[in-house]
Amino acid sequence: MSEKKHSLPVTREEDFSAWYQAVINGADLAENSSVRGCMVIKPFGFAIWECMQSILDAKFKELGHHNCYFPLLIPVELFEQEAEHVAGFAKEMAIVTHHRLEYKDGKFVPASPLETPLAIRPTSELIIGESMARWINSYRDLPVMINQWCNIVRWEMRTRMFLRTSEFLWQEGHTAHETEEEARLESRTMHDVYHWFIRDILKMFCIAGEKPAHDKFAGAIETLTIEAMMQDGKALQAATSHYLGQNFAKAVNIRFQGRDGALHYAHTTSWGATTRMIGGLIMAHADDDGLNLPSEVAPYHVVIIPILKGTDQDGEILEYCQKIKASIQKDARVFVDLKEIPSQNKKWDYVRKGIPFICEVGINELKNESVFFTKRASELEKVRMSLGEFAARLGYLIREHDEVLQKKNESAGQQKIVRNIKTFGELRDYFSRSNGFVLAKWSGSEKNLDLLDELAVSIRCLPNQQTGTSEKCILTGEDATIDIVLAKSY
Amino acid sequence: MSEKKHSLPVTREEDFSAWYQAVINGADLAENSSVRGCMVIKPFGFAIWECMQSILDAKFKELGHHNCYFPLLIPVELFEQEAEHVAGFAKEMAIVTHHRLEYKDGKFVPASPLETPLAIRPTSELIIGESMARWINSYRDLPVMINQWCNIVRWEMRTRMFLRTSEFLWQEGHTAHETEEEARLESRTMHDVYHWFIRDILKMFCIAGEKPAHDKFAGAIETLTIEAMMQDGKALQAATSHYLGQNFAKAVNIRFQGRDGALHYAHTTSWGATTRMIGGLIMAHADDDGLNLPSEVAPYHVVIIPILKGTDQDGEILEYCQKIKASIQKDARVFVDLKEIPSQNKKWDYVRKGIPFICEVGINELKNESVFFTKRASELEKVRMSLGEFAARLGYLIREHDEVLQKKNESAGQQKIVRNIKTFGELRDYFSRSNGFVLAKWSGSEKNLDLLDELAVSIRCLPNQQTGTSEKCILTGEDATIDIVLAKSY
């Protein structure tokens, strides 16, 4: 394959959606399963998720959260406690009705019906709240700060790998506090953690803000979101934090004796991030040669490919590969690929997987103790240096790699930020020919929101940074002070 | 509370089963949920599971396995492919039949039936095998060695926390190989890993061996097991490894082109360990004061409790606690408990949680820069030493703690190993008054196995160490050379 051409069968320009799938196939991240809407996360995709998990998990624990595990199955009656919440999920719940299979007329059929049907968790506020109600008696028991890493089922009709699947993996944090102030602070703090993770670790261009009232999490008082911009100018809601007020506490009776001796309902929060972030990573950083991985979530920083010719020197080349590994493994995750497939195929496999540095090691490198490598993020630039220099500079090279990804994504993102649209007509015009984040003004009224539906555009968030200026509302023409971000979204 | 009495409301002697539950409550490991047979794993219980996970996961990866994630839901038709396998699980499967809830006559009812019902995974051989069939084409693609950490549902009728619950957590390893020899070696290797983990990390007295043919995993050719002995002399099957032959490969069509150019079915294995090991840990090491944790799975090795008197010196005491922590945190997991509850209550909480070293820090300790601590495993012995000595000796103290647990468990276990039972009459007599592991001889015939059922006893395994001597079969009186372990079990 010539290095002038692209490694993927389709480019972003040609068909963004087919390209997205081609990146997944090319990097061998995931595949469809025989179960409608459920995917298999393959080793390389899962290794990225493990990197994400370990960074977030350490941060959650540092902030005082403890991991737990709550049941997968939730009695349907429990949903009846919080009407607004259940309305948000009722349409997409997988329901268990039987607990046995019976062989009948040549096939297996469900047998032994349950007395009450059970839903597979679409989220766990209610079942966790039930436990909290048992755990919390006094203000001394507060705050309760827990998290779980688990699988979730929401029966999606139109699915897309990582972005929207009937089953997905996530973490869900749940906390209960004595006061509204503390609970709001917790929800803000976790919002900041997600912002840090998406922007500083995943190097994604994003805007942090609050969801408008009509788009909050079912049952929440306030939903905070990180809206990341994809290369096609659409938004991806990457992680959300909710202040739930006393709604769930009232539904499941989380009460405590306060400092005043009286009984109070707790103030609760919840916050979550999912495997969908892997989809975001793809649409933010991948190019027409495949994936690009920020270093902190790269399963390997360096892959070493021995170029063997079937000669006597093969043994020495393999030894030299191990020497390179030994020289750098203190500072980086390194893998020597010994699989028996042609080395040129291997190289392109790792380009498509987004490995930051791909070293090809043959007789030349062995002879002069050098390292010859491809810098994935820098247009596949090829570099040669001595092993000593490579080992000494690798820390710098990794930081440089991250900066290249960050700057590319930032500058592409900034170009799709639109600030000069003032009327709905201009907005319609813009989205009929382009995609991006439109920063506009909104009165806060829900009037004319349906106009946005026609454009398949929505208010992604009210950015945390509000200018405070007064202009005309993009939907109603009324006076408006609220800054909003409008975009199409995944 | 006097330290002469026991910290739990019931002793092992009085009621082993009530004591087991009291240990769980006392250490705050888990609780029942509102879903029949499903438990909530609370922060301290989950932290123990995280310790177990991190040790096993690192070992699996070191041996070349990769983590993945496969769907929770399995189409029921898929079970029809492997009749023996499904027969083993059909009676206890949770079946999803609908994908929506509808509000009707004041309650939520299942709506939108699925075209084909889906089972929640009781184990994943078939759904993972289906993926392997896609991944494997040539001998060059082999071996495939994967693992997943996930939740499992088996609809148990009689449940018991950690030991038998309708939902539990586990890891399941699945591998495919070119030859029978390689697959059998893999299954043996993972058996050895489990043996190391149960015996050397969890310090549990156990016997490793093979399951008799009538008690293999559904669909397996060979099942290897670690049978750990509990303090009441019963066995706990702690982790199993299966050589599956070509059975599953044929069911889901895992075929590859071999070195000879012909198509062959792969040889597969699977192996798993579950949260049930936490139940084993309790019944192996806990005493009438509560849990006892081997150091490698102790969320904290040292807990520091400040004894505050509401005087001016409280601040200095708290500072001194942080100084102790700083002096030892390089070598141990340390926690300073700042909760506002009486320090004496705290101490007994940590005794019940099985924390190896519980330090109480008051004015005396502050004055002479000493550490006063309780050694959990050594009959709650109290020790005072200088902070310098404590910091210098902590590594030794932790090893000593583990040795105490290991020796106690080993000597209690050895006392319940019975070698002099030669006839079924003697066996019946023994189990009518006692419990333990009876080492006996078996012809290998399934004749008279039902006699064991009457005693609620089973052949736990054929130990890996076979003596090769010939005696009479304990069931039939025929000549027999096979060594077996007989016991009651959980």
Q: Is the pLDDT of residue B340 over 90?
A: no
Which positions in chain B touch A169 (Cβ < 8 Å)? 69
Same domain, A316 and A456: no
> Could you tell me which residues come within 8 angstroms of residue B89 by beta carbon, excluding any fewer than 6 positions away?
B79, B122, B123, B154, B218
Minimum-distance CB partner of A169 among B31, B69, B95: B69
Q: Which helix (H) or strand (E) holds A268?
A: strand A267-274
Which positions in chain B touch A38 (Cβ < 8 Å)? 71-73
Q: Do B266 and B256 meet the contact criterion of CB atoms below 8 Å apart?
A: yes
Any domain includes A388? yes
Q: Is the pLDDT of residue B83 over 80?
A: no
Angle between helices B43-62 and B276-285 in degrees, nearest 10? 110
Which positions in chain B touch A78 (Cβ < 8 Å)? 34
The two structure tokens encoding residue B442 = 């078996």
Q: Quickly state the pLDDT bin for A328 (edges 50, 70, 90).
A: very high
Rounded Cα–Cα distance for residues B411 and A70 (Å): 37
The pLDDT assigned to B81 comes to: 81
Q: Do A177 and A267 meet the contact criterion of CB atoms below 8 Å apart?
A: yes
- Please return the burial class of A374, using the count of CB atoms within 10 Å of its CB with bins 0-12, 13-18 and 19+: buried
Rounded Cα–Cα distance for residues A237 and B430 (Å): 66
User: Of A397, A413, A429, which closes a domain?
Assistant: A413
What sign results for the dihedral spanned by CA atoms B406, B409, B415, B419? Answer: negative
Question: Contact A47/B31, CB-based, under 8 Å?
Answer: no
Q: Do A361 and A330 meet the contact criterion of CB atoms below 8 Å apart?
A: no
Minimum-distance CB partner of A167 among B73, B90, B119: B73
The pLDDT assigned to B3 comes to: 47
Which positions in chain B touch A101 (Cβ < 8 Å)? 76, 79, 86, 90-91, 93, 95, 119
> Could you tell me which residues come within 8 angstroms of residue B174 by beta carbon, excluding any fewer than 6 positions away?
B124, B125, B128, B129, B132, B146, B147, B268, B269, B270
Domain with residue A93: its CATH number is 3.30.930.10
Question: Contact A68/B101, CB-based, under 8 Å?
Answer: no
Minimum-distance CB partner of A80 among B66, B108, B134: B108
The pLDDT mean for chain B works out to: 95
CA angle B309, B311, B317 (to 5 degrees): 70
Percent share of chain A, pLDDT over 90:
91
Backbone angles phi, psi at A360, to 5 degrees: -105, 125
What sign results for the dihedral spanned by CA atoms A12, A16, A18, A19? Answer: positive
Which positions in chain A touch B40 (Cβ < 8 Å)? 68-71, 131
Same domain, B441 and B364: no
Among A100-104, A353-357, B333-337, which is the least confidently predicted range?
A: A100-104
Mean pLDDT of A104-126: 93
- Please return the burial class of A59, using the count of CB atoms within 10 Å of its CB with bins 0-12, 13-18 and 19+: middle
> For the segment A379-431, what is each residue's pLDDT rounded down to a tens digit?
999 999 999 999 999 999 999 999 999 999 999 999 999 999 999 999 999 99
Instruction: Please state whether beta strands A222-229 and B235-245 pair in parallel, antiparallel, or not at all (unpaired).
Output: unpaired
Domain with residue A390: its CATH number is 3.40.50.800
Question: Contact A46/B69, CB-based, under 8 Å?
Answer: yes
The pLDDT assigned to A49 comes to: 98
The pLDDT assigned to A83 comes to: 77
Domain that holds residue A482: 417-487
Any domain includes B290? no
Domain with residue B453: its CATH number is 3.30.110.30
The pLDDT assigned to A342 comes to: 84
The pLDDT assigned to A88 comes to: 81
Any domain includes B4? no
Question: Contact A33/B127, CB-based, under 8 Å?
Answer: yes
The pLDDT assigned to B88 comes to: 80
At B160, the amino acid letter reads R
Q: Do A135 and A141 meet the contact criterion of CB atoms below 8 Å apart?
A: yes
Minimum-distance CB partner of A96 among B49, B50, B94: B94
Minimum-distance CB partner of A130 among B34, B39, B50: B34
Q: Is the pLDDT of residue B206 over 50?
A: yes
Q: Is the pLDDT of residue A2 over 70?
A: no
Percent share of chain A, pLDDT over 70:
99
The pLDDT assigned to B199 comes to: 98
How far off is chain B from A442, nearest CA to CA, in Å? 36
Same domain, A29 and A78: yes
How far off is chain B from A233, nearest CA to CA, in Å? 30
Closest residue of chain B to A131, computed from CA coordinates: B33
Q: Quickly state the pLDDT bin for A80 (edges 50, 70, 90).
A: confident
Instruction: Please state whether beta strands B222-229 and B235-245 pair in parallel, antiparallel, or not at all (unpaired).
Output: antiparallel
How far off is chain B from A361, nearest CA to CA, in Å? 22
Minimum-distance CB partner of B78 among A34, A99, A169: A34
Q: Is the pLDDT of residue A308 over 90?
A: yes
The two structure tokens encoding residue A410 = 């930032």
Q: Quickly state the pLDDT bin for B1 (edges 50, 70, 90).
A: very low
Strands of A291-331 (E only): list them. 302-306
Any domain includes B253? yes
> Could you tell me which residues come within 8 angstroms of residue A237 by beta carbon, excluding any fewer than 6 positions away?
A225, A226, A227, A460, A489, A490
Task: For B434-473, give one letter per residue: b (16+ CB within 10 A) or e.
Answer: ebbbbbbbbbeeeeeeeebeeeebbbbbbbeeeeeeeeeb
Question: Contact A96/B101, CB-based, under 8 Å?
Answer: no
The pLDDT assigned to B87 comes to: 81
Asked if the peptide bond before residue B306 counts as cis, ω within 30 degrees of 0, the response is no
Same domain, B277 and B305: no
Question: Contact A151/B151, CB-based, under 8 Å?
Answer: yes
Closest residue of chain A to B34, computed from CA coordinates: A75
Q: Provide the β-strand partners of residue B95.
A: A98, B119
Same domain, B90 and B186: yes
The pLDDT assigned to B106 comes to: 81
Q: Is A457 left (phi over 0), alpha (psi -120 to 50) or beta?
A: beta
Chains A, B: CB contacts within 8 A come to 207
How far off is chain A from B343, nearest CA to CA, in Å? 15
Q: Is the pLDDT of residue A3 over 60?
A: no
The CA radius of gyration of chain B, in Å to the nearest whole number, is 26
The pLDDT assigned to B94 comes to: 96
Which positions in chain A touch B33 (Cβ < 8 Å)? 70-71, 127, 130-131
The pLDDT assigned to B413 comes to: 97
Mean pLDDT of A246-272: 97
Question: Contact A75/B35, CB-based, under 8 Å?
Answer: yes
Question: Contact A86/B101, CB-based, under 8 Å?
Answer: yes
Q: Quickly state the pLDDT bin for A359 (edges 50, 70, 90).
A: very high
Q: Quick check: helix, strand or coil at residue A216?
A: coil
Any domain includes A6? no
Q: Quick check: helix, strand or coil at residue B188?
A: helix
Q: Which helix (H) or strand (E) holds B441?
A: strand B437-442
Give start and end residues of each alpha helix (H) in A28-170.
Answer: 43-62, 76-79, 83-89, 125-135
Rounded Cα–Cα distance for residues A430 and B250 (Å): 57
CB-facing half-sphere around the CA of B427: CA atoms within 13 A: 27
Minimum-distance CB partner of A43 among B86, B130, B146: B146
Closest residue of chain A to B67, computed from CA coordinates: A43
Q: Provide the β-strand partners of residue B273.
A: B171, B239
How far off is chain A from B69, nearest CA to CA, in Å? 5
Q: Quickly state the pLDDT bin for B85 (edges 50, 70, 90).
A: confident
How far off is chain A from B149, nearest CA to CA, in Å? 10
Backbone angles phi, psi at A80, to 5 degrees: -70, -15
Among A476-480, B5-9, B148-152, B199-203, which is the least confidently predicted range?
A: B5-9
Q: pTM, whole model, 2 decimals?
A: 0.96
User: Of B363, B387, B410, which closes a domain?
Assistant: B410
Closest residue of chain B to A34, computed from CA coordinates: B75
Q: Do A481 and A229 meet the contact criterion of CB atoms below 8 Å apart?
A: no
Q: Do A377 and A294 meet the contact criterion of CB atoms below 8 Å apart?
A: no
Rounded Cα–Cα distance for residues A202 and A216 (Å): 25
Structural domain total, chain B? 3
Question: Contact B131/A33, CB-based, under 8 Å?
Answer: yes
User: Of B250, B285, B320, which closes a domain?
Assistant: B285
Same domain, A239 and A91: yes
Question: Contact B41/A119, CB-based, under 8 Å?
Answer: no
Which positions in chain B touch A340 (Cβ < 8 Å)? 140
Same domain, B128 and B197: yes
Same domain, B191 and B319: no
Any domain includes A292? no
Same domain, A260 and A126: yes
Rounded Cα–Cα distance for residues B246 and B125 (Å): 12
Rounded Cα–Cα distance for residues A93 and B433 (Å): 52
> For the segment A190-219, what is each residue's pLDDT rounded down to a tens digit?
999 999 999 999 999 999 999 999 999 999
Q: Provide the β-strand partners of residue A236.
A: A228
Question: Contact B117/A110, CB-based, under 8 Å?
Answer: yes
Rounded Cα–Cα distance for residues B88 and A38 (Å): 25
Same domain, A131 and A250: yes
Please name the residue that has the structure tokens 């002469």: B4
> For the segment A437-455, what is each residue's pLDDT rounded down to a tens digit?
999 999 999 999 999 999 9
Rounded Cα–Cα distance for residues B356 and B136 (Å): 48
Minimum-distance CB partner of A38 among B73, B101, B146: B73
Question: Contact B73/A94, CB-based, under 8 Å?
Answer: yes
The pLDDT assigned to A1 comes to: 40
Question: Contact B110/A97, CB-based, under 8 Å?
Answer: yes
Q: Do B97 and B113 meet the contact criterion of CB atoms below 8 Å apart?
A: yes
How far off is chain B from A43, nearest CA to CA, in Å? 5
Any domain includes B294? no
Interface test with B, best of A108, A161, A170, A252 (most B CBs within 10 A): A108
> For the segment B255-295, what is each residue's pLDDT rounded down to a tens digit?
999 999 999 999 999 999 999 999 999 999 999 999 999 99
How far off is chain B from A111, nearest CA to CA, in Å? 9
Closest residue of chain A to B117, computed from CA coordinates: A110
Q: What is the DSSP string of B310-372?
A: SSTTHHHHHHHHHHHHHHHTTTS-EEE---SS-HHHHHHHHHHHT-SEEEEE-HHHHHTTEEE
The CA radius of gyration of chain A, in Å to the nearest whole number, is 26
Same domain, A246 and A307: no
Please name the residue that has the structure tokens 């900066």: A403
Minimum-distance CB partner of B100 among A39, A91, A140: A91
Q: What is the DSSP string of A129-163?
A: HHHHHHH--BGGG--EEEEEEEEEE---SS-BTTT
> For the segment B166-175, what is each residue's pLDDT rounded down to a tens digit?
999 999 999 9
Any domain includes A483? yes
Minimum-distance CB partner of A67 among B43, B68, B80: B43
Same domain, A455 and A363: no
Q: Quickly state the pLDDT bin for B2 (edges 50, 70, 90).
A: very low
Q: Is the pLDDT of residue B4 over 80?
A: no
Closest residue of chain A to B102, computed from CA coordinates: A90
